Amino acid sequence: DTGVSQDPRHKITKRGQNVTFRCDPISEHNRLYWYRQTLGQGPEFLTYFQNEAQLEKSRLLSDRFSAERPKGSFSTLEIQRTEQGDSAMYLCASSLEGNTIYFGEGSWLTVV
Amino acid sequence: EDKVVQSPLSLVVHEGDTVTLNCSYEVTNFRSLLWYKQEKKAPTFLFMLTSSGIEKKSGRLSSILDKKELFSILNITATQTGDSAIYLCAVPLNSGGSNYKLTFGKGTLLTVNP
């Protein structure tokens, strides 16, 4: 499969724990994005990388959230000291320059 | 404030019916509008529209953009149960020609009953 892949697909964690999600974009896509989606809402933009540079972060991304893309390929999204309000699906997407954005299957996070 | 509004929020039809989904937008520096289909997982790309009045078509799905009235419609003819999904409309914001920062509507939940 050559699409965007995300891992894990599902994560249940206790409040206060840290979680990390990984995203492998479509190869050769230089742009990588993270979005968050809650039930009944469309995805909301979190952050965006062009190659290894993080070019924009949404105000939704509090200090507990950090994203990296160290070699310009895969990316990680870490949430520290999780809260119940962090429960959502975290979507990764990639594109080549300004072309169509392709989404991964998402990582469901449930904070209990 | 930039926004994307979809209607209806949900729709139930029978197989074979034709449906029209609406998306209106208010954004600065409009470049394009995108439609995605989401079935319990990631959104899958359907169409990207940049020019008014030019219909894009893929099988039973078609879409058109009206930049004067600031809306787009997505039509699905001869619906099938496999069309049941959430249909999302999105517009890139302040993108300067790049489509990275998509603002999505809440989506239309379409249910097609046999």
Task: Please provide the DSSP assignment of B65-88 as one string.
Answer: EETTTTEEEEEE-S--GGG-EEEE
Rounded-to-integer distance, Cα A8 and Cα A109, Å: 9
Rounded-to-integer distance, Cα B45 and Cα B89, Å: 10
Q: What is the pLDDT of residues B73-88, one digit of tens each?
A: 999 999 999 999 999 9
Contacts of B105 in chain A (CB under 8 A): 42
Give yes or no for residue B57 having a pLDDT over 60. Answer: yes
- Report which of B102, B94, B30, B98 is spatially closest to residue B66, judged by C-alpha positions: B30
Cis peptide bond upstream of A25, omega within 30: no
Rounded-to-integer distance, Cα B97 and Cα B94, Å: 8
Q: Per the CB < 8 Å rule, is B100 touching A95?
A: yes
CA B74 to chain CA mean position, Å: 6
Q: Per the CB < 8 Å rule, is A4 touching B42?
A: yes
Task: Provide the 10 A C-beta neighbour count for residue B26.
Answer: 12
> Please, what is the Cα angle at B85 between B82 and B91, to 5 degrees?
130
* pLDDT at residue A67 in the model: 96
Q: At residue A112, what is the residue type? A: V
Q: What is the pLDDT of residues A41-85, one digit of tens each?
A: 999 999 999 999 998 888 888 899 999 999 889 999 999 999 999
* pLDDT at residue B96 in the model: 52
Q: Per the CB < 8 Å rule, is B100 touching A43?
A: no
Q: What is the pLDDT of residues A85-99, one digit of tens each?
A: 999 999 999 998 767
Rounded-to-integer distance, Cα B23 and Cα B72, Å: 5
Residues 6+ away with beta carbon under 8 Å from B60? B76, B77, B78, B79, B80, B83
User: Does any CB of chain B come closer than 8 Å to the CB of residue A53?
Assistant: no
Instruction: Grade residue B98 by pLDDT with cuts at 50, 70 and 90.
Output: low
Nearest CB neighbour to B99, from listed A101, A104, A106: A101
The pair of three-digit structure tokens given for residue B84, joined into one six-digit string: 């049941």
**Is the Cβ–Cβ distance between B92 and B32 less than 8 Å?**
yes
Radius of gyration of chain B (CA): 14
Q: Residue A50, CB half-sphere, CA atoms under 13 Å: how many?
A: 9
Instruction: Grade residue B99 by pLDDT with cuts at 50, 70 and 90.
Output: low
Cis peptide bond upstream of B92, omega within 30: no
Rounded-to-integer distance, Cα B16 and Cα B60, Å: 11
Tell me what the mean pLDDT of segment B99-108 comes to: 86
